[in-house]
Homo-oligomer: A and B are copies of this chain.
Amino acid sequence: MSGHATSLRLKLPAICFLLQLLTIILFAVYVRYDEETSANLWHQKLRHHNGSNLDNDFYFRYPSFQDVHTMIFIGFGFLMTFLKRYGFSSVAFNFLIAAFAIQWSTLIQGFLHSFHNGKIHVGIESMINADFCSGAILISFGAVLGKTSPVQLLLMTLLEVTLFGINEYILLSLIGAKDAGGSMTIHTFGAYFGLTVSRLLYRPHLNKSRQREGSVYHSDLFAMIGTIYLWLFWPSFNSAVTAHGDDQHRTVLNTYFSLAASTLATFAISSLINGEGKLDMVHIQNAALAGGVVVGTSAEMMLTPFGAMIAGFLAGTISTLGFKFITPILDSKLKIQDTCGVHNLHGLPGVLGALLGALVAGLATQDKVWGGRPLYSGRGTLFIPPPVYFPPGGILKMSFLASPPDTQCFEDQIYWEVRAKGLSSFSFNISKGRGKAQPAQ
């Protein structure tokens, strides 16, 4: 490997310019303000319905949107900073691919879900859905974290957003499933897509970089910023696009209780399975969130608060056990190197959530739960069979994509100007009365 191979100098600008140019052209041709964001359409609507500016859906969705937005960029971004030498890449590549994903998915979801009279109409709902889609991409990013260049990641985003849209279309539009919080469409899809890509990009010699595949003290604290924000705003995530009124309110409540229970389960299991009876930050950072994933499908239903707690408690338990027992097997037996353990946080709890949705929908009589609206939740969890992913995976393997060598995985320095080593590059001279710092040595 030469320094040249991982240089982003021409590759990254080329793909960024190309994707942004393509997006701008498609937006110019197809994307228009919807009736809540267009001056003309909105004022027409107001006149016809004798309404008020304060009825604009902006006021009833935007706070939820901002919570979701925070999860995508702060939550996912900082959760992945746990690696000792990959903090820049974690938070900044997360930033880059989400910034592209929200644009691209506005187009893909628009073509598939809201293409009327040859135009895509955008507003707060399209923004939330675009953020949701980028959530799935970032889950996949977690599986390949540290082993892919930003060029590969942008290509992956281009392909995955497209497949995400198709999968979502099959699930929600053709089959008619309900999945407001995305147990199936976001978590299960994002996790298994990421694992498939990770399998395709399998590195037999990754042990050359294993010494960097861990945390240091402060990187674990940065990661906790991500964890806590994901945990806090998961009720908003699951409820952001549910129907207004009791649905949205109930979704929040159920998610809140499920998360609380999964947190206790995670602490319990983490200390139980550790030989010295110590807790493990990996578990706390991840498995405590499984309660949000597991009720993604069912939280809008009449799950009951104690039902949400049971679901959350099981999800936290299974997720923590997954980190201890399944991740090593995925690596050693199935050649799937899952950097962030997305299988445990998003894969397993997502599948469990789909089953739970089917169960709750099955138990409830239609009338009692939904006031007459049809419900087919939980039918099928993944509709694009894994082999379909292989061709795009193949594209990602192409050698000119600035992928890191096996010896340089989990390492910021190949993609970033890193100016100085840690804080210790300066000693703090704390002798009184002088107050002057000295460079070390």
- Whether the pair B39, A124 counts as a contact (CB closer than 8 A) is no
Question: Whole-angstrom distance between the alpha carbons of A293 and B426 in the complex?
Answer: 36
A281 CB within 8 Å of chain B: yes
Q: Interface-forming stretch among A63-71, A163-171, A197-205?
A: A63-71
Nearest chain B CB to A381's CB is how many angstroms away?
25
Contact of A248 among B56, B215, B220 (CB under 8 A): B56
A416 CB within 8 Å of chain B: yes
Instruction: Say yes or no: A217-B418 contact (C-beta < 8 A), given A54-B60, A103-B309.
Output: yes
Question: Whole-angstrom distance between the alpha carbons of A19 and B276 in the complex?
Answer: 23
Contact of A427 among B279, B421, B427 (CB under 8 A): B421
A428 CB within 8 Å of chain B: yes
A236 CB within 8 Å of chain B: yes
- Whether the pair A27, B305 counts as a contact (CB closer than 8 A) is yes
Interface string of A31-71 (1 = CB under 8 A from B): 11100111111110010000001111111101100110110
- Whether the pair B228, A77 counts as a contact (CB closer than 8 A) is yes
- Whether the pair A123, B232 counts as a contact (CB closer than 8 A) is no
Q: Interface-forming stretch among A8-16, A180-188, A343-351?
A: A8-16
Nearest chain B CB to A377's CB is how many angstroms away?
15
Question: Whole-angstrom distance between the alpha carbons of A231 and B257 in the complex?
Answer: 27
The interface on chain A, measured as residues whose beta carbon lies within 8 A of the other chain's beta carbons, has a size of: 156
A158 CB within 8 Å of chain B: no
Question: Whole-angstrom distance between the alpha carbons of A415 and B57 in the complex?
Answer: 48
A385 CB within 8 Å of chain B: no
- Whether the pair B309, A249 counts as a contact (CB closer than 8 A) is no
- Whether the pair B16, A102 counts as a contact (CB closer than 8 A) is no
Nearest chain B CB to A356's CB is how many angstroms away?
16
Q: Which residues of B contact A281 (CB under 8 A)?
A: 88, 92, 416-417
Contact of A124 among B11, B218, B252 (CB under 8 A): B252
The residue among A91, A229, A268 with the most chain B CB atoms within 10 A of its own CB is A268
- Whether the pair B428, A420 counts as a contact (CB closer than 8 A) is yes
- Whether the pair A217, B420 counts as a contact (CB closer than 8 A) is yes
Chain B: CB-nearest residue to A246 = B42
